[in-house]
Structure 1
Amino acid sequence: MELTKNTYRIQGVKLEDVAKNFGTPVYVYDADKIANQIKLLHKAFSGLNVRIKYAAKALTNLSILKLMRREGAGIDVVSIQEAHLGLKAGFQPDDILFTPNCVSFSEIQEAVKLGLRINIDNISILEQFGHEYHDTVPCCIRLNPHIMAGGNAKISTGHVDSKFGISILQKRHLLRIIQTYNIKVNGLHMHTGSDILDSEVFLKGAQIVFDIAHDFEDLEFLDFGSGFKVGYREGDVVTDVVALGKNLESAFQEFCKEYGRDLQVWFEPGKFLVSEAGYFLVRTNVIKTTPATVFAGVDSGLNHFIRPMMYDSYHEMVNISNPKGINRVYTIVGYICETDTLGWDRKLNEVREGDIIAIKNAGAYGFSMASNYNSRLRPAEVMIIDGQAKLIRERETFEDLIRQQVEIDI
């Protein structure tokens, strides 16, 4: 988002025009930014046989998935519904890694029928998988390395108390099951969660996977998840993926030499690809002054953008309607009937009723976590691609809200 001629633009498109033409609230995604993030990862890991699998849960709009496919990425999905979205977007089954958690075995069976790559993260499912398929269907094993990667506890997934993955302390049990059922394991997977600040933590987890990998003869790839940190504030420390690529390259090449053949390296970035590409545009409904605070109440809330309330996440905000206004301090709140704060004590150019506020870093876990709480309708989504703003999801209507409800005689 650039400020040119007192107007905020993406690829030359005025964001105020997007709000005018498509209404608010509205999610806006910059296709060029997504494509550049994919290119950055390929460049950072150019010394490795790398595959990028977009973590679709971050943003599952079909047009976003089609963009990922166009840019050469596969996808990682966590539900059978995400898998069907991926297939509808044109991905081949072999390009889709299915990494569910705590699902029924019937969902695993459906994924096998679809031809997806299967990633198993618990002993119970692995035993059922082995009993059903033996060595006829290969699978990947998700390991829990018992590492705290950083960030909010709710998005850290590789620690000892996490529900994700098979503990490395269960290695003997794991190997016994694989041997008993003659399971073919073609990949090992590790994901520590989001907001990796220290590449050394990442490499420590990789070394754990390297050590365990020697117990598996049929590996084709090692999947290191993602968790690359993006910047939310000016001056934020972010993951230096180029430096990480150089360090991982030497360590991985040494491992492959010991293993006896070259393997692929997989990553599953979600937030890293789409977070900074997304902007959430909201309109100011009211300016409310109290003895302690000046509130700017907007036409959205935690129903559309839950991250600040759920994760205490910080998202920079810009008043795109008044870029030259005097700076004042506001607390930005939503219209949901409970504490619903999007940003505390923010210095913004003077906000007037009717002004459009752009919330940055809204591409990941924004719309995908939106709900109809308070019976509010979910917003529209727009992609700016090739210098044009294109609608990629219509705004919900009241008919959408009640479509699945069944009225009974009372």
Structure 2
Amino acid sequence: MITNYLLDLPTPCHVIDLDKIESNLNVLEYLCKKTNLLLLFALKGFSNPQILKYFILHFDGISASSLWEARLAKELTSLPVHTFSPSYCEKTFSSICSFSDYIIFNSISQWERFKTTIISEKLNCGIRINPEYSEIKKYAINPCHPSSRFGVHIEELEKIDFSNIKGIHFHNMCEQYSDTFRNTLTVIEKNLEYIYIKRNG
């Protein structure tokens, strides 16, 4: 049965159930406590500031993918902002840095181009890698296929000087679960071990 107040709402409009959001957040908080992970909220997926204020502090940081998302994140909260973009431009990069705590690069050339700024601003830096492993069946939405421009490929990893890079970023899952994540970590560990042995003999 549709309640009376729903019948009075103008259309089209978004109807958001805050109780349901709270219930989902309780599940996430339970998982965080069990696994000791940090949870980032991706503004790309939902950026309504009127609703975000109700639950944003349940997260450990914000994931941004543009200057405007990074700026919105800083306006909404004091949580750390992690910014990743497949490409950055000279004109806006300094502004992105001013709103970000972590900058993640998509390629070695990107890192080389902007590393002076990152080091001078004392920002934490990560680089996206392409694990070249995915269980996504649909080619069009698989970010790890052989021709993908997302992330540094295995054969390029040995060219990276990790002394100023604090972590790696990867994305290869779509509506999948912990078994896929475990399989991916196994592949990444083997690749990094291979690079380490190749470098050190």
TM-score, with structure 1 as normaliser: 0.42
Shift of 1:161: 2.5
Residues 223-254 of structure 1: CA distance to partner in whole angstroms, max 9, x if unpaired? xxxxxxxxxxxxxxxxxxxxxxxxxxxxxxxx
**Alpha carbons of structure 1 residues 90 and 163: separation in structure 2 relative to 1, 3 Å:** same
Kept in 1, the 8 Å contact 2:42–2:62? The answer is yes
Distance 1:214 1:68 in 2: 42
Partner SS for 2:14: strand
Matched residue, 2:66 = 79
Please tell me whether residue 174 in structure 1 is matched to residue 160 in structure 2.
Answer: yes
Q: Does 1:113 align with 2:108?
A: no
- Aligned in 2, Cα 1:33/1:206: closer, same or farther, shift over 3 Å? farther
CA distance in 2, matches of 1:91, 1:49: 21
Answer yes or no: is 1:48 the counterpart of 2:35.
yes
Distance change >3 Å, CA 84–CA 167, structure 1 → 2: same
RMSD, aligned CA? 2.8
Identify the structure with bigger relative contact order (alpha carbons < 8 Å, sequence gap 6+).
1
Could you tell me which runs of 5 or more consecutive residues in structure 1 were left unpaired when the two chains were aligned: 1-6, 9-13, 217-410
Distance 1:116 1:215, change over 3 A: farther
Number of residue pairs aligned between Structure 1 and Structure 2? 194
* Separation (CA, whole Å) in 1 of partners of 2:106 and 2:34: 29
In the alignment, structure 1 residue 161 sits paired with structure 2 residue 166: no
SS in structure 1 opposite 2:34?
A: coil
Once the two structures are TM-superposed, the CA of residue 114 in structure 1 deviates from its matched residue by: 2.5
Query: Aligned-pair distance for 1:80?
Result: 0.9
Contact 2:118 2:125 survives alignment (8 Å): no
Distance 2:145 2:51 in 1: 31
CA distance in 2, matches of 1:17, 1:213: 60
Which secondary structure state, in structure 1, belongs to the residue aligned with residue 134 of structure 2? coil
Alignment of 1:78-97 (within 5 A): 78-92=65-79, 95-97=80-82
Correspondent of 2:49 among 51, 62, 72:
62
In structure 1, C-alpha distance between the alignment counterparts of 2:63 and 2:137, rounded to whole Å: 22
Query: What is the TM-score of this pair, normalised by structure 2?
Result: 0.80
Q: How far 1:213 moved relative to its partner?
A: 8.3
Cα deviation, residue 39, structure 1: 2.4
Larger radius of gyration: 1
In structure 2, the CA distance between the partners of 1:61 and 1:151, relative to structure 1 (3 Å rule), is: farther
8 A Cα contact 2:40 2:59, kept in partner: no
Q: Which residue of the other structure, out of 74, 83, 87, is the alignment partner of 1:98?
A: 83
Other-structure match for 1:140: 126
Secondary structure of 1:25's partner?
coil
Q: Unaligned stretches of 5+ in structure 2?
A: 197-201
Structure 1 residues 69-78 or 145-154, which shifts more? 145-154
* C-alpha displacement of 1:106: 3.8
Contact 1:53 1:73 survives alignment (8 Å)? yes
CA contact (8 A) 1:188 1:209 kept: no
Give me the whole-angstrom Cα distance separating, in 2, the residues matched to 1:214 and 1:48.
28
- Residue in structure 2 matched with residue 189 of structure 1 by the alignment: 169
Question: Could you give the per-residue CA deviations for residues 314-337 of structure 1, whole angstroms, max 9, x where no partner exists?
Answer: xxxxxxxxxxxxxxxxxxxxxxxx
